[in-house]
Amino acid sequence: MKKKNPNNRSIISVGQIIGWIVVFVLAVLLFNKPGVKQTTLDYSDFKQKVAEAAVSDLTVSPDTISGLYKNEAGQFVPFKTVRMEDPGLVKELSTAKIKFKAEQDRSWIGNILFNVLWIFLLIGLWWFIFIRPQRSDGKSAMNFARSKAKMQDPSQQTVTFKDVAGCDEAKEELEDIIKFLKNPKKFQKLGGKLPKGVLLYGAPGTGKTLLAKAVAGEAGVSFFSASASEFVEMFVGVGAARVRDLFDQAKNNAPAIIFIDELDAVGRRRFAGIGGGHDEREQTLNQLLIELDGFESKQGIILMASTNRPDVLDPALIRPGRFDRHISVPAPDLKGREEILKVHAKKVKLGSEVDLKQVAKGTPGFVGADLANVINEAAILAARADKDAVTTSDLDEAVERVLAGPQKKSRIISKHEQHVIAAHESGHTIVARLTNHSDPVHKVTIIPRGQALGYTLQLPLEDKFLTSKSELLDKLCILLAGRAAEEIVFGEITSGASDDLNKTMAYARKMVMELGMSDRLGPIALPNGEENEVFLGRDLSRHTTMSDELSRTVDEEILNLIKTSYARAKDIIIKHREGFDKLVATLLEKEVVQANEIDEILGLAPVVKEGQPQPTTPTPVKEEPKAQPAVRPNAQQADLFE
């Protein structure tokens, strides 16, 4: 027998209540509409008016007579009188040629309905708004303090760990939770307690919510899901009431899992920033802390939450005894990306030539949501082209569409601007290919896509978790190479390097202030100012500890890194000007140049492993490579040059 879903409530919204009130008012006006003011005449006066033919438009009913009579001013005004037993009245009216009409009297049933119907209407309206919801769920109609969490019965849960890939370590951490929910006595006999709270943290799209659903599906228990923003309203106390109601529902359906998405919406540090410490958000957080302390692990309730900002959460919330386990859900590695692609490709018909491992290699830094979107976009592209299956070209185009949008085929670019873009991208490509610690160049294109007029794609040969100083210096050099190429070829610069300059400044600042990669400053980390931002939940009392002299030295080191890298980029382009000019001409002709052709133009051997390229004898380009959809760089592993 299925459990009754507590979310199937009869909740009357404010709009519905107003609508019923309007109906009630109209009904009252309909049954009690005010009539025209009538003068009451005695029956004798009425008979005299009849004799004088001073009445008209009479309505004769069994109890009353109404119509118009001529007053002293000679005007006809409404009147009514009580009808008496007068058998000769009809004859008198006919003799005086006074028009009249007879009206049938309402029955006693009609009178009762006419007089008391509006009362029944009021009672029915009251029952429908107030009494009926109380019978259905025991709550008042004014139940905006009820939790908006959605409950899912165990029989309706279809998500399991088979649907989750790319986060094996996180799944292993959650296995204990599942085993405890299935067989709590196994742990309790040894004195073990079920963790009260599990915090999942990681970048957006890594699968935190999916993991929580999979835990509920594997354990076969009730699952309550809610967003933290649903607790806080403009009315004081609503958030705390909704927290209490949510935990009450979970206790009534134990064992159960409560999942709160984006916990930082209510879990930020208290008494921080502008304003007092008694706002609605903090009251909601306080109630959440009380509820976490108020239930025992033996009740079989687990609170799971997700956030991508664990650093702003209140320490009292994430301490042991409340959120006992903190589980990181990182971006997947190469193997994880391949497994995620296989999971999402189960319902998609793939061509025999499709190699998901190659797709995984071309998507470094992608999270689960990105990869799911890649498969979906590829299926849409294949269906649009009336194909029988998804091909490799569809997947390549899907990767590019997910990150940069569709190609701007209708964008008209002048020949001069095309030359500038080709020189800009060739500068990036030359420097990226000839520096010793940069990722291999996969392709370069000047086809507009999204906001980019062109880009150079670099893909790493393997996943990286550490970055050396030499790699960052090469990165600065590559970023500035586009601007350097514009200055060398045209003698002036354009606005196309704005994004490159922003990234250059960010890298240089991070190297000097956070990574300790400055020779003058040494291995120190300096405050970057973000810690003092109020919206991050930090206290206003914090202030920078940098002296004026130290700040000046930091600025000098940052500028020195940028100027040195810019001069180095210009030097590389000038030394290889011949290959640079060939690459510009090829880009203008073909718009897309792949890695093998770049190596032929520069006379370099293909990169087979990470390390320094080995020069060879230049050979001419034999044929144009097959046109394939470009693969856009990922934000973490490659840079998009506009």
User: What pLDDT, on a 0 to 100 scale, did the predictor assign at position 61?
Assistant: 79
Q: Answer whether 242's CB lies under 8 Å from 288's CB.
A: no
Instruction: Assign 623 a pLDDT band (cuts: 50, 70, 90).
Output: very low
Residue 178 CA to residue 180 CA, distance in Å, equals: 5
> Strand 197-201 to strand 301-307: parallel, antiparallel, or no bridges (unpaired)?
parallel
Query: Exposed, middle or buried: residue 376 (CB in 10 Å: 0-12, 13-18, 19+)?
Result: middle
Instruction: Assign 380 a pLDDT band (cuts: 50, 70, 90).
Output: very high
Q: Answer whether 302's CB lies under 8 Å from 181's CB.
A: yes
Q: Which residue has the tokens 């009249």?
A: 100
Assign a CATH topology to domain 39-105: 3.30.720
Residue 304 CA to residue 181 CA, distance in Å, equals: 14
Assign a CATH topology to domain 150-328: Rossmann fold (3.40.50)
Positions of CATH 1.20.58.760 in the chain:
415-602
Whether domain 334-404 has CATH 2.60.40.10: no
Structure tokens at 438: 């940069």
Which residues, at least 6 apart from 244, have a Cβ–Cβ distance to it below 8 Å? 287, 291
- Of 36-45, 243-252, 519-528, the range with the lowest mean pLDDT is 36-45
Residue 105: CA atoms inside 13 Å, Cβ hemisphere, count?
9
Assign a CATH topology to domain 415-602: Methane Monooxygenase Hydroxylase; Chain G, domain 1 (1.20.58)
Q: 412, 419, 428: which is closest to 485 by C-alpha?
A: 428
User: What pLDDT, on a 0 to 100 scale, did the predictor assign at position 619?
Assistant: 32
% of residues, the chain, pLDDT over 70: 76
Instruction: Assign 276 a pLDDT band (cuts: 50, 70, 90).
Output: very low
Residue 382 has pLDDT above 90, yes or no: yes
User: What pLDDT, on a 0 to 100 scale, did the predictor assign at position 27?
Assistant: 61
Please give the angle made by the CA atoms of 261, 266 and 272, to the nearest 5 degrees: 140
- Of 201-210, 335-344, 347-356, 457-466, the range with the lowest mean pLDDT is 457-466
Give tens-digit pLDDT for 230-242. 777 666 677 788 8
Instruction: Assign 305 a pLDDT band (cuts: 50, 70, 90).
Output: very high
Question: Of the segments 14-18, 536-540, 603-607, 614-618, which one has the largest average pLDDT value?
Answer: 603-607
Residues known to be catalytic: 425
Which residues, at least 6 apart from 553, have a Cβ–Cβ distance to it below 8 Å? 520, 521
Greatest CA separation for the chain: 134
Instruction: Assign 574 a pLDDT band (cuts: 50, 70, 90).
Output: very high
The residue-averaged pLDDT of 18-22 equals 65
Residue 580 CA to residue 547 CA, distance in Å, equals: 45
Q: Where are the alpha helices (H) located in 76-131, listed in sequence order?
A: 89-95, 108-126
Positions of CATH 3.30.720.210 in the chain:
39-105
User: What pLDDT, on a 0 to 100 scale, did the predictor assign at position 505?
Assistant: 95
User: What pLDDT, on a 0 to 100 scale, did the predictor assign at position 570?
Assistant: 95
% of residues, the chain, pLDDT over 90: 26
